[in-house]
Amino acid sequence: MPRTPAPSRPPDRPVGTVTRGTTNPNRLRRMDRWIAATHGAALRRSPSPPVAVDLGYGAAPWTAVELLERLRKVRADARVYGVEIDPERVAAARPYERTGLGFVRGGFELPVPDARGLTLIRAANVLRQYPEEEVLPAWQRLCARLAPEGLLVEGTCDEIGRRHVWVALGPEGPRTVTFAARLATLQTPSDLAERLPKALIHRNVPGEGVHAFLADFDRAWAAAAPYGALSARQRWMRAVRGLAADWPLADGPRRWRQGEVTVRWSPLAPR
């Protein structure tokens, strides 16, 4: 298998700012599992080796290494570039490079080869550390780098990946919001509010769609309390079924069993 092409020369001033860089092994497993399940067909259809970017992977390269491993279960020739704005983090990651995995210094300009566009951009726990007004321009810049079937996944999780919320975007813009959790640790669905992406974190107030969704989810969760005697999973699935009449869900029981639910972007979009 040929080695990953050398990245294009990064600009003198990468676009963005250095974030905290907190990272842990297996932190993004829920997001990666969802990507493999929902974006796998696009990865397999790609006429050339699909190229993915792990933007802002942090102080250690674990998430980029794991992304390559998980994507290659779907497409054996997938390539991943870890992009970080901090040159010391890039230098520390270089020993982990191998065929299909490279690390480069950069920011939202994504200094990686993408002649046909990027198949996947993952930006986890990055924009949460930026001002809210910078989210839309960052989304637009990243979406412009996507291939026609490409996907941008941007979201936030806790330090060990038990609770996670992300937005999925195509070249045209945002499509869905996914809520995912280790159900045994969840008291109510609205506990996930603290992990909302930056575009939604300040919108969890009366009058906003995301606030209404979480309030309805909590009510459905309370109504499903008897199913908790069977398992937290059964309670979650019953609660999600209770949402389906009023909210445009974009997935089904197969994903719900994983402790996920995905809803269309439009009713949750900031008003």
Question: DSSP letters of the chain?
Answer: -PPPPPPPPPPSS-SS--------TTTTHHHHHHHHHHHHHHHHH-SS--EEEEET--SSSHHHHHHHHHHTTT-TT-EEEEEES-HHHHHHHGGG-BTTEEEEE-STT--S--TT-EEEEEEESSGGGS-GGGHHHHHHHHHTTEEEEEEEEEEEE-TTSSEEEEEEEETTEEEEEEEEE-GGG-S-GGGGGGG--HHHHTT-STTSHHHHHHHHHHHHHHHTGGGGGT-HHHHHHHHHHHHTTTS-B---HHHHTTTEEEEESGGGS--
What are 244-253's contacts with CB under 8 Å, separation 24+?
A: 246/216, 247/213, 247/216, 250/175, 250/176, 251/38
Position 9 scores a pLDDT of 44
pLDDT tens for the 271 residues of the chain, in order: 333 444 444 446 788 777 766 788 899 999 999 999 999 999 999 989 999 999 999 999 999 999 999 999 999 999 999 999 999 999 999 999 999 999 999 999 999 987 679 999 999 999 998 999 999 999 999 999 999 999 999 999 999 999 999 999 999 999 999 999 999 999 999 999 999 999 999 999 999 999 999 999 999 999 999 999 999 999 999 999 999 999 999 999 999 999 999 999 999 999 9
Question: Which residue ranges form the domains of the chain, and what is each CATH number?
Answer: 1-171 (3.40.50.150), 182-247 (no CATH)
Position 23 scores a pLDDT of 80
Position 4 scores a pLDDT of 41
Position 196 scores a pLDDT of 98
Q: Does this model's pTM top 0.75?
A: yes
